[in-house]
Structure 1
Amino acid sequence: MALKRIAVFTSSVLASCLLGGIAHAENTRVVNTTSEGIFDRPHTIAEIEAGIITLPNAPISSSQRGGETPFGTIGKGDATVLVGLHLLYRASKEFAFGAGFLLGPQPTSDSQYGGAIGLKRSHARSYLLLGTELRYIPIRSKTLEGWLGLTAGGVIIADRFSTETPEKVPAILGTPDVTVRTEGFTIGAELGGSWMFADRWALGAILRTDRWILPNSQQCTAIGDCGTLTGTVSSVQFGLTIGYRIPL
């Protein structure tokens, strides 16, 4: 009877040890899988960006330098708020590629623009960038990464001129606003980093510089309003991002 009790006790202890070992192995496997990080597995990334775009050598007028941002004027060119979206596919640890757009929802305006015929008018200039990007990620850890990138695409610049009249003009006679669009190509470089603060969410920052290649001649309206950017223009952009990552 004593031997039977000892055998039962020993079996219970062995069973407990075996179950404990299996549970420990499972926990270890889960931890190890988590510690690999989503950065190391193929995934897609959707990033929302908000920041500032500056054109250091291109104010919208001689009287409006430094632009309009929540932080005041910046430099001697134009500066305004920038928002955008990036969609990227990361097929390996080192590389990601994708496309996106950036736009200025609150363009800088100049209320003292006189135009060619001396009317009381205002002028604003907005930007839309569409392009592709390639990122190389040489710095990686479980939750942090740093990268370098190249960008290429197109830019659309909209110069909007508005005549300020004290009386409303019937629509049949036309509208007080006219927009002159200038289109061109962009190529640039960028650097940034991301911090994965949750299972699939990451915060990041981007610093980007572009060269805009625009037509050398201006497009003008019948009353002499012309696009304000021609040739080669430099831009610098800084943005903060929040991204959502989807493993594949």
Structure 2
Amino acid sequence: MTSIPFYRLFKFLLFPIVRDGDRPLFSPSGFATKVSVCMVPVAVMLYALAISVAMQMGLVLYPFNALAVGTAITATLAFTISFAVTYINSVAFQKLLNSYEKFVHLSRTDPLTELLNRKGVSDHVDQLLSPLDVAIIDIDKFKSINDSYGHAVGDAVIVNFAGTLKALGERLGLCVGRLGGEEFVAISSHSTGNDVLPICELLRSIVETSGVNCDAITVNYTISVGIAHGYDNESFSEVLHRADAALYKAKSLGRNRVVTA
């Protein structure tokens, strides 16, 4: 029972007071204000104790005035000094926190497409309910696009497809990412009720009937997709391996198709 006041004080001090949507943000001014408010009564009590000792020693001629004026001055100084010191340190902490968050974002994000990279996909999968459906998507004959038109056009094709995949993923609640090169992934939990097969057929159709305009050049491309439906207690890596085998089969059958394992 005695720990409850300390828990409430801890929660009061550290609970973020600024929010960006559902994401809590650290507020240096808010944190400094809370610390300063807590320091004022501590400083006042110490001052009152000092005055009491001074009175007993006969060093205070006007105790009431000393207590009233001294308390006001002590409270003001305690709040001001505590706020200044805490705010300066909180700003430094916020910069460190922002740097860490930026580092985490960069470590999980593909710089070209802004999709999750392989690590980001693996981290996100841990938050999904199994079993999972996994689709590995490969841009057909991407090397020949690079060789024929150059890497700038190849990057434009990658970005174009990533945008299409991301838009479809956001609309249907899929986890999408870039595994590397021209290979992408789309993941759906069975709990969402989405059937990955028609979604991938729709994606393939959209890509087939659209092109990429870059430097006055229009490039048409297609995709091949391998799908694996996960089973209970089957790990993500196992489902991914079966999806990769289905992708290999789609390529061997002539590309521009969706194959299920």
What is the TM-score normalised by the length of structure 1? 0.26
What is the TM-score normalised by the length of structure 2? 0.25
Ranked by relative contact order (alpha carbons within 8 Å, sequence separation 6 or more), the top structure is 1
* Greater helix fraction, Structure 1 or Structure 2: 2
